[in-house]
Amino acid sequence: MRGDTVIVFARAPRLGAVKRRLARGIGAMGALRFYRAQLAATLAAVAGDGRWRTILATTPPGARAAWPRRLPRIGQGGGDLGMRMERAMRPLRRVVLVGSDIPGLAREDIAAAFRALGRADAVFGPAEDGGYWLVGLGPRRPRRPFGAVRWSTRHALADTLANFHGRRVALLRRLRDVDTAADLRAVRWGAA
């Protein structure tokens, strides 16, 4: 698996700037506390494994923050989520990208994604809300893997999969990402 890379997408942990939909239900300080803890847990689960290297893709550009771990960083740049993901993943032959709001994420999920890329062109971790918590790409990928996707809707995974027509796609287990207070309650009460 030498040369495999994991990218963790993260926003600088600042009050009022992270998890805004979650903040509507639990307040800005609660959302910041959740985000900081979840980002640290994500990096603990992903970074430091010798089977892959881990990069933190940050926003906003030039953000200075107390990141929970020292890792190589790249900026996400501008554009919608798909444009930013494509830009980060493009130069890498085998790459897995995850967000920082998936409480169930484990190191084994990353290993499973890279195993799936041994037989598939792409791998996705479906989310409960119709999106996805992980995307992995091998060298054979569409020119615009994330074009025409309705982000933050129940159509995000289906729209993305349409871009992979004719290519081999693998799916991992379904998890819940935390975007809202209802998501957080579901995760805390074991409905993940």
Q: Residue ranges per domain, the chain?
A: 5-188
What are 43-55's pLDDT values in tens digits?
999 998 999 999 9
CA angle 137, 174, 155 (to 5 degrees): 70
The phi-psi region of residue 3 (left if phi > 0; otherwise alpha if psi is between -120 and 50; otherwise beta) is left
- The pair of three-digit structure tokens given for residue 52, joined into one six-digit string: 């892959």
- Give domain 5-188's CATH architecture: Alpha-Beta Complex (3.90)
- With 0-12 / 13-18 / 19 or more C-beta atoms within 10 angstroms meaning exposed / middle / buried, residue 108 is exposed
Q: What is the mean pLDDT of residues 147-160?
A: 97
Q: What are the φ and ψ backbone dihedral angles of 8, each rounded to 5 degrees?
A: -105, 115
3-state secondary structure (DSSP) of residue 187 = helix
* CA separation for the pair 35, 12 (Å, rounded): 10
Q: What confidence category does residue 188 fall into, taking pLDDT thresholds of 50, 70 and 90?
A: confident
Whether 67 shows a pLDDT value over 90: the answer reads no
- The pair of three-digit structure tokens given for residue 96, joined into one six-digit string: 């897995």
* CA separation for the pair 78, 14 (Å, rounded): 19
What are 78-89's pLDDT values in tens digits?
999 999 999 999
Q: What are the φ and ψ backbone dihedral angles of 46, each rounded to 5 degrees?
A: -105, -45
Whether 1 shows a pLDDT value over 70: the answer reads no
